[in-house]
Amino acid sequence: MLIRKIIALSLAATAIGCWSMSAKNSDSRSVNAETDATPFATPKPKAAPTETPASSSTTSTSNMNATGTFYDNLPKTLSRPTDDVSKLLLREYGSVFVTKATPPAKIVFEDEADVSAFQKSLTRDSSSIGGYTVTLQKPAMDALKAAIAEAQKSGLSIGPRGGDSSMRTYAQTVTLWSSRVRPALAHWSAAGKISKADAARINALSPFQQVSEVLGLEEKGMWFAKDFSKSIIYSVAPPGTSQHLSMLALDVKQFDDARVREILAKHGWFQTVSSDLPHFTYLGVNESELPGLGLKKVTSGNRTFWVPDI
Ligand SMILES: [Zn+2]
């Protein structure tokens, strides 16, 4: 039920945003997940829309003759998802798991220690790009630098949107999550939909434990996005699920430029979250290899997204 609703909302999305942490108060940002303007994190100021509504031109090409399915290409160390929440999260952000760099160790990291241990296991590289420090897994950084060099030959720039556009910590994902969960619990409690005791109990849970509780309440129609009209998943990334935690994502300032997107794709950086326009994911393969990894091509407007074919 929940999944069907979310899919429906995805199709209805008119803009998308990135789960950026720097935009807590930023209804002024053109694309960001914080404003709850539309499904999927979307923050786009009503006054300055720049994106083609996804619903107007979305087409999907399924991988009919895959040599490998998405699930078959998941890391062997990753437990196959058995619950609806994990499946939903994989469907929404799972492309990162087929990267040729080091994929996330879990579908949902449990806490700061969990994320930190994983991040420490990675070979990372930091570089000042566009006035901000960018930190990525080394293969992702190498590919980004190659893309930047190629872009420069054509007089183009490629850089981050802000200081939080690459690696993030677990705490950053929690802050945003809580900013939605607390008000929503108060709202549904005041509306008599859940008891005060239940609201207090959920408030006291760890963010990791809250994820399934919140999505369970949403299944009953108690939405947790900022305006309580849609799923929280379209507003903020559940704690521990962001691709940025794995240092394989970059929110690109020049995401609107088709030439930039083409150069990034040539160097293994693809758009993988169909409602998150500035967000690019390092997969590290040629585009022609993606169907064989279980991803399918989704086009929206003139943009190409590679999402799990599940
Ligand atoms: Zn992002």
pLDDT tens digits for 253-305?
Answer: 999 999 999 999 999 999 998 878 999 999 999 999 999 999 999 998 889 99
Cα(167)–Cα(187) distance, integer angstroms = 33
Mean pLDDT of the region 56-71: 48
Q: In what order do the strands lie in the sheet with 303-308?
A: 59-61, 295-300, 303-308
CB-based contacts of 156, cutoff 8 Å, min separation 6 = 254, 257, 259, 260, 263
CA of 29 to the centre of ligand 1 (A): 14
Residue 211: closest CA among 244, 171, 167, 174: 174
* pLDDT, position 22: 35
CA of 4 to the centre of ligand 1 (A): 24
Query: What does the mean pLDDT of the chain come to?
Result: 81
CA of 8 to the centre of ligand 1 (A): 22
* pLDDT, position 33: 44
Of the two residues 80 and 38, the one the predictor is more confident about is: 80
CA of 248 to the centre of ligand 1 (A): 10
Going by pLDDT thresholds of 50, 70 and 90, the confidence category of residue 25 is very low
* pLDDT, position 14: 31
Q: Which range, of 41-55, 95-109, 182-196, averages the lowest pLDDT?
A: 41-55
Cα(187)–Cα(189) distance, integer angstroms = 5
CA of 254 to the centre of ligand 1 (A): 13
* pLDDT, position 60: 40
CA of 194 to the centre of ligand 1 (A): 33
CA of 267 to the centre of ligand 1 (A): 18
CA of 18 to the centre of ligand 1 (A): 5
CA of 293 to the centre of ligand 1 (A): 22
CA of 246 to the centre of ligand 1 (A): 11
Tens digits of residue pLDDT in 217-267: 999 999 999 999 988 887 788 889 999 999 999 999 999 999 999 999 999
Is the pLDDT reported for residue 54 higher than 50?
A: no
* pLDDT, position 88: 84
CA of 79 to the centre of ligand 1 (A): 24
Going by pLDDT thresholds of 50, 70 and 90, the confidence category of residue 78 is confident
Is the pLDDT reported for residue 5 higher than 80?
A: no
Place of tokens 């809250």: 210
CA of 250 to the centre of ligand 1 (A): 6
CA of 103 to the centre of ligand 1 (A): 16
Of the two residues 268 and 21, the one the predictor is more confident about is: 268
Mean pLDDT of the region 194-219: 93
Express as a percent the part of the chain with pLDDT over 70: 78
CA of 165 to the centre of ligand 1 (A): 6
Quote the pTM value: 0.75
CA of 80 to the centre of ligand 1 (A): 25
Mean pLDDT of the region 124-131: 96
Residue 233: closest CA among 191, 268, 184: 184
Going by pLDDT thresholds of 50, 70 and 90, the confidence category of residue 57 is very low
CA of 195 to the centre of ligand 1 (A): 35
CA of 237 to the centre of ligand 1 (A): 10
* pLDDT, position 41: 35
| C-alpha radius of gyration, the chain, whole number | 18
CA of 273 to the centre of ligand 1 (A): 9
* pLDDT, position 32: 41
Residue 96: closest CA among 262, 233, 276, 220: 276
CA of 199 to the centre of ligand 1 (A): 30
CA of 288 to the centre of ligand 1 (A): 24
CA of 33 to the centre of ligand 1 (A): 9
Is the pLDDT reported for residue 134 higher than 50?
A: yes
**How far is CA 10 from each of CA 58, 76, 296, rounded to the nearest angstrom?**
10, 29, 16
Cα dihedral 84, 177, 114, 273, rounded to 10, equals: 60
Tens digits of residue pLDDT in 197-206: 999 999 999 9
Is the pLDDT reported for residue 11 higher than 60?
A: no
CA of 158 to the centre of ligand 1 (A): 15
Whether residue 17 contacts residue 276, with contact meaning beta carbons closer than 8 Å, is answered with yes
- Vertex 158, ends 156 and 159: CA angle to 5°? 145
